[in-house]
Structure formats: C-alpha cells, structure tokens
Amino acid sequence: MALLQISEPGQSTAPHQHRLAVGIDLGTTHSLAATVRSGVPEVLPDAHGRYLLPSVVRYGAGGAPQVGHEAKDKAGADPLNTIASVKRFMGRGIDDIRKTVKKLPYEFVDSESAMPRIRTAAGDVSPVEVSTEILKVLKTRSEGSLGGELSGVVITVPAYFDDAQRQATRDAARLAGLNVLRLLNEPTAAAVAYGLDRGSEGVHAIYDLGGGTFDISILRFSRGVFEVLATAGDSALGGDDMDRVVAEWIMQQAGIGDDVGHGQLRRLQRIACDSKEQLTESDSVEIVADLETGGQWRGWLTRETFNALIEPLVRRSLLPCRRAMKDAGIGLDEIEDVVMVGGATRVPYVRTQVGNFFACDPLVDIDPDKVVAVGAAIQADVLVGNKPDDELLLLDVIPLSLGLETMGGLVEKIIPRNTPIPVAKAQEFTTYKDGQTAMQIHVVQGERDLVSDCRSLARFELRGVPAMNAGAAKVRVTFQVDADGLLSVSASEVASGVQSSVQVKPSYGLTDSEIAQMLRDSIDHAQDDMAVRALREQQVEADRSIETIESALAEDGDKLLDADERKAIDNALEALHAARIGSDHRAIKQAIAHLDTVSHVYATRRMNASIRKALTGHKVEDIDI
C-alpha cells in the first residue's frame, strides 16, 4: 500500500504521476536534502535519524566509494583518499587551485584537460565526480523517504558562484541521475525558507556562519526577484575557529603544552565543540579533560568567558558585513531582516552581536543548519508543479554581467548582472576597417571595463561579411540565456545574412575568492575603469585616424600636397603618435583634433580628385543624380 500525502485542493495527482521534488543543500562541510510533505517542508534523515551528511568521500581500492560519516571517520587514517570540502574545487582549473590553496591536501594529477583530477586508490577522480557521489547518496535517501523516483531537484550554490562553477554543479547532478529544476543562490534559499518572497519588497541581510566559512549577502526583493546587491565574507572563519579558541583556553587552564599530540588535540577540540553547543542552553559547563600524563583536569567554562573568547571572531565577521553594506550602497536603517544561516549562528553571543549590528532581531526560528535546504525544497515543490498556479515563481538572475570585447580591449556589456532569466538581448556592431570581411566575437563575463579584468567564456568568428567601408556593415549580436542558465551567442551580418554562433560551455578556471573579488573590484576600481575606458577609446580613435591618413598619404600625398602642407600633416601625425603612447586621454583627443584640422584641406582635395576621376570621360547629361 502506497503511503499518501495531503495535497492542496484540486492538486491531487493521478497514481504513478506523483511529482516528487527535493531541495539539496550541497555544502562545503555538510550536505542535506529536504522536501515538502503535505504542505510542510521537512528535512530527510538517513536510517540512523541523522540529517546532515558530511560532504566527505573516501575512495578505497576496489568497491564503491564511502560517503558521509563512514568516510569522515577514516579521514585521519587515510587522508589522501578521503576527499573533503570538494566544493572549494568545483569549476576551477588546476592552476587556480594550486595558486590559492597553499597546502593541497590531495595529490592532483597533471592532465591535458582543464578540469583537475585528484589521484586516489580507486583511480583519478574530478571534483565533479566527488560531488556526484554525495548527490547519489542524497538521491537514494530521498527516493527511499518519498517512496518513488524524483521528478526534479533544486540545488543551492553560493551567490558568488560564476557560470563555470554553476555548470560544474549541474554536471555533478546530471551524473548522479538527477533532473536539476534550478540552481538557487544559498542566501535566496534562506530568504525563501522564511517566506520573505511572500512579504513586501525590501532589503534583507543573510548572515551565514558555517563550520569553516563565513558569507554575508545583501539581497533586495522586488518584482518577484531576489537581487544580490553585494556579497562579502571570510573563507577562513567559522564555528571550527570557536572550537579552536576554546581548546586553546582549556590547554592554557590545564597546563597542557603546545607540543601535545595530534590525537589529544583532536579530543580537546571535540570537547570544545561539545562545550560550545551546551553553552547555547546553559550558562556554564563543566569540562573534563584527560591529560596525557594520566591525570584529569576539571574546570568550569562560563558563557561569559566563552563570549570573551569568541569576541574577536564575531568582530571579524562584522567587518565583511560593513563592507557588503557599503558595496550595496545600503544604510543600516534600510535592512528589514537578518536571516541566520549555519550552525555557528546558534551561539547566543553571535545572535546578539549581529542583532546589535543590524539593529533588528535576527530570524532564528528555522534550524540554521536546515534553512537553506528547506528554502530549496519549497522552491522545488513550486517548480515541479505541486502548488496552485498563482504561487509566486521565484526567478533566477544572471550572477555576473555578460558582454563582448570591442576594439581596445574594452567590454561592451550586453546583459547586465541581476537580469532575470530567461532573457535575450541583441545589439548591433560594425566593422572597424575598410574591406573587413570577418569579425571575432569574444564573449566575456564580469563587471569590469577591461577584457583583461573579466573572464573569457568563448571566442568565435563571423566570416563572409561582404567587404564594405569601415562602419558600413551591420553585425547583430544576440545573447540568449535559457531558463537553465545556458548562454548562446549568435552573430549575423544584416545585409548578407551570414551568421555564426556559439553555445557557451564555460571553461573551468576561476576561483571563488576571485569571483567575490571581481564584484568587489568593480566597485573599488570604478574610477580607474572610467579613466582606462576613456584612454582606450581615444587610443582606438587615434589608431583609426593614423591609419586613414597614413594610407591616404602613401597613395596620393605627394601629388595633392605641397611641401609645407605635407610637413604640417607629418608633424601632426608625429604629435598624435607621441600622444598615443602616453596615458592622457585628453592629449590624444587634442592631437586627433589637430590632425583633423591640418588634414582638412587634404581631405577636401582628395574628395575633389576622386570625383574628378569618376567624372572624367563622362558628359554632364550622363550623370544620373
């Protein structure tokens, strides 16, 4: 007998057509799945009643990989084959990983492909494949819990994930046999869990203090879209640091030296973690630590002392908060809610400090470990069609602007960031040189003005453009992002109809800190970018002037100009060449204007000469005007 759930009025499904959907929080340290059952979101525990699955996979020689608690327990004994925190490597090239992670915990294989592979006893595996193993376990757990095959899943990703990292997450899900309905930003999921998408329009802060990382996101909800105004964080700050300072305190109190063994350190951190958790409920906790000398140390840790110990850590988290507010251009009085995410936000001191900072009571009703998965589950339930049509459908947005390269290495943004998808936008471009028959389209993503500061997504060529004067050809470039976030770019020449297109499969190779950095840089460097853009534009203009005049001079300069006139133009050209090398865009502009002025007579004479040539041998009545 199949077990049934209560549906919304009129939404009962026919047998065998149940639309089962789950939300998955694929986290750095833990992953979990949630679903909506009889209208109530709930997380799905495993057979032992544990809902958090450690994001750890162990590859042994032969046999299926171990995932979760089993793998985590072996991490100490078999570090090279036990992969943890693989999320940090998703969608990144090997060079990026080597550059940013100083001490790599695993052996990376040098390979032809851009995607890094980790050497294990069971062969080489990619970060995508490791994530797949985690997702497979959650899939099995979900299907066991819901009693059927899943129609679709929503997986959450950090707001700062770029297209490559999102695509890698999608690939992992596909390999696990999951149908991804949508990738949802983690802060957005947390906001959805609290129903902020059903509230009024406004600005919300999402404070996410996990085990090892801290993220703050400022979201604005308007017209059905959560717009990410700013993100900031600290990739090395979390609940583990609290355990560390408490463990250090115990060592100090108990007179344990720094040279203590690895096993003892691990035990102390375990005790510290338990004490931290107990202090959420009680005002003080008794600590009993076994000493290596055989004795025992007993002591009391009060909440007051604990608060003093973690105060520097909490203060460190408020710095990115301030930065995010500044980046978003938002005042403290504009923040309506602060949503608390991540296990470490259970600590009462964190709650009061964050509450004081944002001057409002943080939202803490939903278990901070589960809140992201719950939001994803609610979204999955809507997307799979288990809700009446009038339920608001949360739209996805493009995380970083998409554009293409124009002359001078400048970026022309076609689709600005935070645009809801699906979307299609077109813009017309033209040729730069006379007789130009091909055009290279370079698709880039990022917020900066220079191509070199953005990331390159794809390059393709449009060939067969009819030879015309510079600026006469019309090339229409269309950017299209489908509901799955996949970008296709096409270019066509309007007159001849020749066209060319590309589907962007993002090349792996950007670090997550770099992406967060890219967003921050675009604001920090707004002034510089403006100046560089002005300079590059004038340089492009100067090149064109020089090219035109020099090719004309080579053709008929000696015929049409006397020595003085020629000298004046040569001087102006020389001046422009000199200004072109400099970095003063105004000087270049002046030099271009000067060249224009002195070559004006020459241009007129050339025009007359070419008309005369065209008319030679024709009678006036032959001319069709």
Partner 1 sequence: MAITLTDVAAERIRNFMASRGKGVGLRLGIKTTGCSGMAYVLEFADDIEDDDTVYEDHGLKVIVDAKSLLYLNGTELDYTREGLNEGFKFNNPNVKDTCGCGESFNI
Q: Catalytic residue numbers?
A: 25, 87, 186, 208
**153 vs 216 by CB, closer to partner 1:** 153
What is the CA angle 531-534-535, rounded to 5? 85
| Cis status of the peptide bond prior to 422, with omega within 30 of 0 | yes
Task: Provide the minimum distance between the beta carbon of 143 and partner 1 in the complex, in angstroms, as a whole number.
Answer: 9
Task: Provide the minimum distance between the beta carbon of 146 and partner 1 in the complex, in angstroms, as a whole number.
Answer: 7
Task: Provide the minimum distance between the beta carbon of 43 and partner 1 in the complex, in angstroms, as a whole number.
Answer: 12
Task: Provide the minimum distance between the beta carbon of 147 and partner 1 in the complex, in angstroms, as a whole number.
Answer: 4
**47 vs 554 by CB, closer to partner 1:** 47
Where does residue 246 rank: exposed (0-12), middle (13-18), buried (19+ CB within 10 A)? Answer: buried
Binding site for partner 1 (CB under 8 A): 1-12, 14-16, 37-40, 44-47, 141, 144-147
**387 vs 448 by CB, closer to partner 1:** 387
* Count, residues in the chain: 625
Task: Provide the minimum distance between the beta carbon of 15 and partner 1 in the complex, in angstroms, as a whole number.
Answer: 4
Task: Provide the minimum distance between the beta carbon of 142 and partner 1 in the complex, in angstroms, as a whole number.
Answer: 9
Alpha helices by DSSP H, 74-126? 94-100
In the numeric block, which tokens belong to residue 247? 């463990």
- The DSSP bridge partners found for residue 415 are 402
CB-side exposure of 533: number of CA atoms within 13 Å?
Answer: 16
Sequence letter at residue 565: E
Residue in the structure block whose two tokens are 């799905």? 44
**79 vs 195 by CB, closer to partner 1:** 195
**178 vs 229 by CB, closer to partner 1:** 178
Handedness of CA 427, 440, 508, 102 (dihedral sign): negative
Residue in the structure block whose two tokens are 């009643």? 49
In the numeric block, which tokens belong to residue 201? 């329009």
**47 vs 61 by CB, closer to partner 1:** 47
CA distance 384 to 371: 20
Give the number of other CB atoms < 10 A from CB of residue 390: 6
CA distance 448 to 437: 29
Residue 576 in contact with residue 545, Cβ under 8 Å? yes
Task: Provide the minimum distance between the beta carbon of 141 and partner 1 in the complex, in angstroms, as a whole number.
Answer: 7
Residue in the structure block whose two tokens are 């109190």? 253
Task: Provide the minimum distance between the beta carbon of 362 and partner 1 in the complex, in angstroms, as a whole number.
Answer: 22
Please name the residues in contact with 449: beta carbons below 8 A apart, sequence gap of 6 or more: 410, 411, 529, 530, 532, 533
Task: Provide the minimum distance between the beta carbon of 207 and partner 1 in the complex, in angstroms, as a whole number.
Answer: 25
- 3-class DSSP assignment, residue 578: helix
Going from the C-alpha of 164 to that of each of 128, 161, 224, 454, 456, the distances in angstroms are: 12, 8, 26, 13, 11
CA distance 328 to 217: 10
- 3-class DSSP assignment, residue 287: strand
**147 vs 177 by CB, closer to partner 1:** 147
Sequence letter at residue 240: D
Residue 108 in contact with residue 97, Cβ under 8 Å? yes
In the numeric block, which tokens belong to residue 31? 């992953």
DSSP 137: H
Alpha helices by DSSP H, 176-261? 186-193, 239-254
Residue 190 in contact with residue 25, Cβ under 8 Å? no
- 3-class DSSP assignment, residue 525: coil
CA distance 357 to 330: 14
In the numeric block, which tokens belong to residue 272? 């510290």
**45 vs 420 by CB, closer to partner 1:** 45
Give the number of other CB atoms < 10 A from CB of residue 225: 17
- 3-class DSSP assignment, residue 17: coil
Please name the residues in contact with 428: beta carbons below 8 A apart, sequence gap of 6 or more: 474, 475, 476, 477, 494
